[in-house]
Structure 1
Amino acid sequence: MAVVRKKVSSVRTSAMSAQREVDLRQRLSDAGLLRVPVNVVAIAEFLGLEVVEEPMADDLSGYLEVRSGSWVVGVNSLHHRNRKRFTIAHEIAHFVLHSGQKKSFHDQTFARRNDDPNPMEREADRFAAELLMPEADVRQMISSGNTTLSGLAAEFGVSALAMKYRVQNLGYRVNQ
């Protein structure tokens, strides 16, 4: 599938959340952790999170919770590698954006909750997409001629569906 440029507006979170994200992105960049494909486990550890893989029900992707005073990211070991990467990035988002509001997050399979009215989940999905598929890198790869969803997805270590949503959110049109 080719990706073609089109204009689309973007939705942002609050100014305080946006500033936290900018600060985090700078810290991660300074630590050399934003090279594509982004190593989400290294980022989680950089933030002091423990990542554990364990079998879960198929409709559960992962969780973030406090155990013995430390934050733990749990990820469904039965899911595909790309799904696990998105789950970890999503749980990192909950930690960065929402850990002051709750001490536990349990997330259902993301593709099955597209209409979820919960703003925390939408924010975490947006954050995860931006972390795994940084805008500048996506735009650079597309301008360099990598214009297929499968090609882009392979470069970023995400699913073609996640890449489709990301390029659409960046203002590109996906030809069928």
Structure 2
Amino acid sequence: MSAKIAEAIEAARKVLSDHGIKSAPVPVDRIIKAKGIALEYAPLEPELSGMAYIKDGIAIIGLNSLHHPNRQRFSAAHELGHHELHADILSSAVHVDRGFQVLLRDDVSSLGISDKEREANAFAAELLMPSEFIAGALEKNGLDIEDDEGVAALAKKFKVSTVAMRYRLSNR
């Protein structure tokens, strides 16, 4: 794991701690608003997941209102990651994230070329599916990642997709 990915994970853990989050599902929208970031939903192009920017000193996250609520949650956490980790670049340009699958933002991210996208993905995964919460759930339920019903139940508890949960369980 790169040092930047480890920093992203630690930043997510700090956000959880600062906001007193002790159980799933993590209220990402409440965290965003508590940080003074405007959260806006609008129908966007299907491949557009979200965007993060700072305009006139106001931090903004925009999400695609047409996407599934679980996808919106991951996009919100990902964009919050950009605000937490990459605020310096958000004032100069709107950061737009196109559609993604699993925890990868796009084809560039899946190739490992975009470090900032991988960092925001790591932040989002830790924020929504904290390793501490996952470990506790696994210990309590004795879940096997091949157990489709168990993975689906855990995904429902965390309000993430089963694909995202399976990815998280495989890469924790």
Name the SS for the 2:4 alignment partner: coil
Q: How many residues align?
A: 158
The residue number in structure 2 matching 1:25 is 16
Q: Is 2:127 the counterpart of 1:131?
A: yes
**2:31 aligned to 35, 43, 50, which one?**
43
Name the SS for the 2:154 alignment partner: helix
Confirm or deny: 8 A CA contact 1:146 1:152 kept in the other structure: no
Q: Percent identity?
A: 32
Name the SS for the 2:19 alignment partner: helix
List runs of 5+ in structure 1 lacking aligned partners.
1-9, 171-176
Confirm or deny: 8 A CA contact 1:28 1:34 kept in the other structure: no
Using CA pairs under 8 Å that are at least 6 residues apart, name the structure with larger relative contact order, 1 or 2.
Answer: 1
Post-superposition CA distance 1:64-120 (Å, at most 9, x none): 112332011000000000000000000000000001233221001121433351000
Which deviates more, 70-79 or 98-107? 98-107
Q: Describe the shift of the 1:49–1:110 C-alpha distance in structure 2 as closer, same or farther (beyond 3 A).
A: same
Q: Which amino acid aligns with 1:13?
A: K
Confirm or deny: 8 A CA contact 1:152 1:163 kept in the other structure: yes
**2:139 aligned to 128, 143, 147, which one?**
143
Name the SS for the 2:78 alignment partner: helix
Q: Which amino acid aligns with 1:117?
A: I
Residue 21 of structure 1 deviates from its aligned partner by: 4.5
The residue number in structure 1 matching 2:47 is 59
* TM-score normalised according to structure 2 size: 0.82
* TM-score normalised according to structure 1 size: 0.81
